[in-house]
Amino acid sequence: MLGPMYLSRAVKDAGHEMKALFVPDPLWLKKIEEYKPDVITWSLMTGNHRPIYDVNRLLKSKFKFFSLMGGPHVTFVPDAVKDPDIDAVCLGEGEYAIVELLDKLEKGEDWKDVQNLAYYDEESDEVIKNPLRPLVRDLDGLGQPDRSVIYDAQPLYANSPRKVIVTQRGCPMSCTFCFHHAMRGKVYKARNSDYVRKRSVDHVIAEALEIKKDYPLRFVHFLDDIFNLRTDWLDEFCERWPKEVGLPFDVILMANMTKEQHIEKLAKAGCIYARIAFEAANDHMRNEIYKKNTETSHLVNASKWIKKYGIRLGSLNMLGGPGATLQEDIDTVMLNVECKVDHPLCSIVQPYPEFELNDITKEMGIAVDHYDDFPAKFNREASIEIDNKQAVENLHKWFPVLVRFPWMMPVAKRTLRSRLLSKPLLIMYMLYSEWMVTEQNILYNRAQGHKKLLDWAPIDFTKRVVTKGFVVIVGNLGGKVVKRMATKLQMGDERVMAHMD
């Protein structure tokens, strides 16, 4: 949750206060009552937006505050601000916008000219979208993200030995399934030279050392879209990281930009896990539909070099592409097998609003009708009406198992069209995904010489499953309670509640 961390840094540096609250929390309403926030902010992604609207509506019925929503969903769907319980939405980057808003609210000044904000004007029945301020050029100038805002609210994240760091904003690629091309072209109308920005190696190392000083930190997960975007930056990083930080880490690489020398340097610097985007084995799907500009030879060579230097190979894949056949999705499994992928990750295509992939599905007549129809999780079900939908969803659950144990393909094929087996397959998928993370943790611990009993694979796996299972169950139960409360508020009809009970 780096977004709130950067917002908190900006807010606190400007002399304001900010806290985070994780729900469900049995005392969440009492905590809000005691803190008396002037502003409550939300970050929305398409799929989780509807429950957030429900929570916001519920809080608006109980407390007085300014409701500000940001994130990718409202950036691309600013009409969300027509909801009477939403005061404004923030489009694009929000650090400077939120500070200006808070300053104006504190002084009692009109806030409706704040750049990056959009609001609904009832008199004209229009959504007023203010101009966007320029993209933040100097990422170092934003300061270090304020991790305390999240870690104080949820010790689960503070105590984790694995922390996320991002070294850049923006991506030069035009992948049709990713928000970057839409953010760059439709929202900011920016060139790659302005949109793609990188933090200095100095700033990144300083962040790692600061985390290491204040919190448990044994390995770092770099979540940049393309870690090897600039060879000069990568060279400096690989030279300094092992000397100044000395922790193992993992990265995401772009196959068509990857050179063997990149992998050799990363391995020496402490990289023990690298992911590359396969997306699809079919060249037409990967390059004409998804616009990855990546040849199969790029994927094979990058995989070969990663394996050669002893780095755990991960892959990013998608199933259920528009126009894809079931056999083509099976071919994607087999490409992973051919490349000997250790840690296959897979999602199901979701053509989100304003993405070019959404336009493609509209032309094909298989687009999602309403934004509320998108699932909250992109690795559960297909949102577009594709052929063999059940088979694709079941193949997705088999995906990591089949890549590691391809001899099970005949068994898997017999289960693909079974709706009855969808839940058991989901459980298998979730458990095996956790086991792959345990394997990853074993590598991190081995790299640092950790041999504690708690790091033993069966114990690590059990601890992960129990912890995540508890979080999921509590989250689902809490979500249902809030939904019932919000539905009751919205409907004003006790019969609805009785029916839901």
DSSP string, 437-464: HHHHHHHHHHHTT---GGGSHHHHHHHH
**How far from 433 is each of 147, 161, 366, 379, 413, CA to CA, in Å?**
27, 19, 30, 12, 20
User: Residue-wise pLDDT tens for the chain (501 aa)?
Assistant: 899 999 999 999 999 999 999 887 889 999 999 999 999 999 888 878 888 898 999 999 999 999 999 998 899 889 999 999 999 999 999 999 999 999 999 999 999 999 999 999 999 999 999 999 999 999 999 999 999 999 999 998 999 889 999 999 999 999 999 989 899 999 999 999 999 999 999 999 999 999 999 999 999 999 999 999 999 999 999 999 999 999 999 999 999 999 999 999 999 999 999 999 999 999 999 999 999 999 999 999 999 999 999 999 999 999 999 999 999 999 999 999 999 999 999 999 888 878 899 888 888 888 776 666 666 665 677 777 778 889 999 999 999 999 999 999 999 999 999 999 999 999 999 999 888 888 888 888 777 776 776 666 777 778 777 777 766 666 666 656 655 655 554 433 222 222 222
**What's the confidence (pLDDT) of residue 374?**
67
Characterize the bridge pairing of strands 39-43 and 88-90: unpaired
**What's the confidence (pLDDT) of residue 489?**
44
CATH topology of domain 2-129: Rossmann fold (3.40.50)
Q: Is the pTM of this model over 0.85?
A: yes
**What's the confidence (pLDDT) of residue 407?**
97
**Can you give the residue ranges of every domain in the chain?**
2-129, 160-450, 464-500
Does domain 160-450 fall into CATH 3.20.20.70? yes
Long-range contacts of 302-307, Cβ-Cβ distance < 8 Å, separation of 24 or more? 302/253, 302/255, 302/258, 302/263, 302/276, 303/276, 303/339, 303/340, 303/341, 304/339, 305/258, 305/260, 305/263, 305/264, 306/253, 306/263, 306/274, 306/276, 307/340
